[in-house]
A = this chain, B = another copy of it.
Amino acid sequence: MLFRGDIPTPALLLDLDAFEDNIETMAAHLKARHKAFRPHGKTHKCPEVARALIGAGAVGCCAARLSEAEVFAAHGIKGLLVTTAVVGKDKIARAIALAQQAPDTMFCVDDEQNVREINDAAERGKPMKVLIDLYFGRTGIEPGEPALRLAQSIDSLPNVVLEGLQSYDGQAAHTTPFTARGARTNGNMAKAVETKALIEKAGIRCPIVTGGSTGTYRFDSENPGMTELQPGSFIFMDLDYGKIGGPDSDQYRDFKNALTVITTVVSTPPGFAIVDGGYKAFSTDRPFAPQPLDLPGVEYGWAGDEHGRLDLSQASRRLTVGDRVEFIPPHCDPTVNLYDHLHALRGDRVEAVWPIAARGKSQ
């Protein structure tokens, strides 16, 4: 039997109690509002996590990339939605192979030439299911008339079938304060719902409007036009999402921190403890550092690819070589993408070690 203290460090830990609570909170919230729940797999890249979510009522799993979706499909995950356009001859051929293996898979499109290439490559009688990706600041085609014209193109082609709209606003997810976040997502999702109406008015079937995030789910789930939500980070949480604020606090308390990185003190030069986690153990895309647990007065400082520096001048206790220190990572998705395994803990006992099978699958 393996315990927290036995895991070789640095390692990624999942608190199963917090993780299960987070899933239940989100699943119950969406079920009560009759929204489909297709959580984003780019956060966890782990088939066992996808299965836990489907077990709680999710209709499937989003994937940021084709190669990520291929891994989920190989592990038997149904209801896949690939949220980045599949571009180029080789990837289109792989997307078609994936759809043959997992026929309910949906693919995002935003470019007419790309749609034609998919149509031309697809097998007759086995149309590829597509969602139009709407532009709210990153990828996509503009809502309204431009999206309608793309829907009409899709409708005119025999081997692609429109399933609806991908309506994801990445910037809304982290907009603060809470009220500004609501205003932003409500405004953009209204454009998505209007676009659906425009397409349907043109006689084209467009059943799905999917989008939303851990930051916006409370708003999007109240929008009668949205049919499904695809939040990701709520299962783990991170420092970044903790700071976005909620309805009554500058902290976001809807979900619990379930994900940590455990490290070991490997050196204790005067005044410091050096842990074995650096740029290769934590995400570095946010302007703040990992937060140590149970070490009041101690801050983490980056110390290169493989090390972090804890300044002990204000520490409430000493640290010696071999001590273990756990941290909440700044940003969950890119942290998970550094590790091959997720150690799922019940208390201090390792209940399972889950392969992060789609780690690095960004292609």
Q: How many residues of A sit at the interface, in one of the four size bands? A: 35 or more
Interface residues of A in 73-87 (CB under 8 A from B): 84-85, 87
Q: Closest B-chain residue to A303, C-beta based?
A: B138
0 or 1 for each of A231-265: is its CB under 8 Å from B? (1 = yes):
00000000000000000000000000000000011
With the chains together, A285 CA to B267 CA distance in Å?
Answer: 23
The answer to the question of A291 belonging to the interface, with a C-beta cut-off of 8 Å to chain B, is: no
* Residues of A contacting B: mostly: loop
How many protomers of this protein does the assembly include? 2
Q: How far is the CA of A139 from the CA of B270 in the complex (A)?
A: 10
A38 at the interface (CB under 8 A from B): no
Q: Does the CB pair B64–A264 fall under 8 Å? A: no
Q: Is the CB of A90 within 8 A of B363?
A: no
Q: Which of B64, B283, B339, B363 contacts A284 (CB 8 A)?
A: B283
Complex interface: chain B residues within 8 A of A281 (CB): 362
Identify which of B8, B139, B340 contacts A90 (C-beta below 8 A): B8
- Write the A265-295 contact mask toward B (1 if CB under 8 angstroms, else 0): 1111110001011011101110000000000
Interface 1/0 per residue, A104-132 and B, CB below 8 Å:
00000011011000000000000000000
A347, CB-defined interface residue at 8 Å: no
Looking at A22-30, A49-57, A156-164, A305-313, the stretch in contact with chain B turns out to be: A305-313
Question: Shortest beta-carbon distance, A323 to chain B, in Å?
Answer: 10
Please, could you name 25 A-B residue pairs with CB atoms under 8 Å apart, sorted by A?
Answer: A42-B305, A42-B306, A64-B305, A64-B306, A87-B321, A87-B322, A88-B322, A114-B322, A138-B274, A138-B303, A139-B269, A142-B269, A142-B270, A170-B304, A276-B362, A279-B334, A280-B333, A280-B362, A283-B284, A284-B284, A284-B285, A305-B334, A306-B362, A337-B338, A340-B360
Q: Which 9 A-B pairs have the closest CB atoms?
A: A139-B267, A284-B285, A8-B363, A279-B334, A279-B285, A111-B321, A284-B284, A135-B269, A64-B306
